[in-house]
Amino acid sequence: MAMRASATDMIPTSGADEPLLHGGDLGAARRLFPGAPAPFIDLSTGINPNRYPLPPFSADLFARLPEPAAAAAVAAAAARAYGAPSAGHVVLAPGTQILLPLVAGLVRPRRAAVVVPTYAEHARAAALVGHDVEAIREIDGCRDAGLVMVGNPNNPDGRLHARAALLGLAKDLRRRGGLLVVDEAFMDVGPPNASLAADVSCGNVVVLRSFGKFFGLAGIRLGFALCAPAIAMRLAAALGPWAVSAPALAVAAKALADAAWRERTRRRLERAAKRLDAILAGSDIDILGGTSLFRLARTPEASALFHHLGRAGILVRAFPDNPSWLRFGLPANKREWQRLDGAMASFRDSGRAIAHEPVAGLAGRRGGRSAKDIDRLR
């Protein structure tokens, strides 16, 4: 109160302060479906459920400040793994999420274009730093924006933009002092030569890479910006020293250099995604797209299926703005595949008797579940 009355020079809020809601929140799932069998299966994210093996961590890793040499080694390993020109083109961060406003803030506030549908944090980050955000469907619809953010492959629909098209867009943007941000969070399972990692020397392209999704280690918080060294220095300056935890550095140094594991995992995830397709197809659900780490499904019964699966202890991702969509991540093991298979079969067998109701519609009918709880599961 005192602040509002007197701290007049406080920079006014952009209106993008309200937190968005995301997948992966099993606490909220348990509140929404208190009778579901345990353990809950989390298919609401695109995180590899079979993580890279953790190395033994020395207690020193937790106790001491992360060593600059350890961070430098991870930057070098990331440059090699992702195909960036050098370690000087790599910025380490505690997850790519934290980089979004920093990257969006590299250019003066003006018009920003976000290619949709996509990860909702792109638009929020751009608005947060003062851009006037426009949602566009095609990358050639943004020729007057100063900042363009695009997922490639995109989440949730898996849409791929050709490298040549993105480089053409970057060139156009460069002419007017603009910046292209390519979120390659799922590029580890993308097609060969689709990444723009090797192209960031052009100067106005920032590629974001997620460590936690493909390596199945989202809890350690690690992500990368690949960009020209002049931009890398500025992002590193904003993050300051010791941005990434020492345990994260220790596992990443090993994982990024493990080409055999990465190749084996790409193949395994591809097989798993096809298995998921087969299960969904059996229920007469359209697959709109995806990557090997998730599939975007469409069915007019999305809401009923979301609740059916929830009651069976399986959390998938719903999209309030697209009520016929559900996103499915991958089960972790035989037991989880069986439970998903069984739950989908019982949904079919129920003859779709469950009323088709919007997600929020359930709130009024089930005492213990608030609309807020349901919103948290978007």
Of 293-332, binders to its own copies (CB under 8 A) are: none
* Strand bridging mode 179-183 / 205-210: parallel
Q: How far is the CB of 366 from its own copies (least distance, A)?
A: 20
Assign 103 to helix, strand or coil: helix
Among 238, 257, 287, 354, binds its own copies (CB under 8 A): 238
Assign 367 to helix, strand or coil: coil
Among 203, 282, 342, 358, binds its own copies (CB under 8 A): 203
Q: How far is the CB of 101 from its own copies (least distance, A)?
A: 6
Site for its own copies in 154-193 (CB under 8 A): 174-179
Cβ-contact 242, 79 below 8 angstroms: no
Site for its own copies in 112-151 (CB under 8 A): 121, 124-125, 128, 146
Q: Which stretch binds its own copies (CB under 8 A): 81-89, 101-109, 274-282, 298-306?
A: 101-109
**Residue 334 contacts its own copies per CB under 8 A:** no
**Residue 240 contacts its own copies per CB under 8 A:** yes
| 145 or 304: CB nearest its own copies | 145
Edge-to-edge strands of the sheet including 317-318?
286-291, 294-298, 325-328, 317-318
Site for its own copies in 215-234 (CB under 8 A): 216-221, 228, 230-231, 233-234
* Strand bridging mode 111-115 / 132-136: parallel
Q: Which of 209, 216, 211 is nearest to 249 (CA)?
A: 211
**Residue 100 contacts its own copies per CB under 8 A:** yes
Q: How far is the CB of 375 from its own copies (least distance, A)?
A: 12
Please name every residue paired with 91 in a beta bridge, in sequence order, or none if there are none: 225
Site for its own copies in 42-71 (CB under 8 A): 42, 45, 47, 49, 51, 54, 59-69
**Residue 237 contacts its own copies per CB under 8 A:** yes
**198: amino acid identity, one letter:** A
| 127 or 309: CB nearest its own copies | 127
Q: How far is the CB of 299 from its own copies (least distance, A)?
A: 26
Distance, C-alpha 369 to centroid of its chain: 27
Cβ-contact 40, 339 below 8 angstroms: no
d(CA 111, CA 105): 12
Cβ-contact 75, 67 below 8 angstroms: no
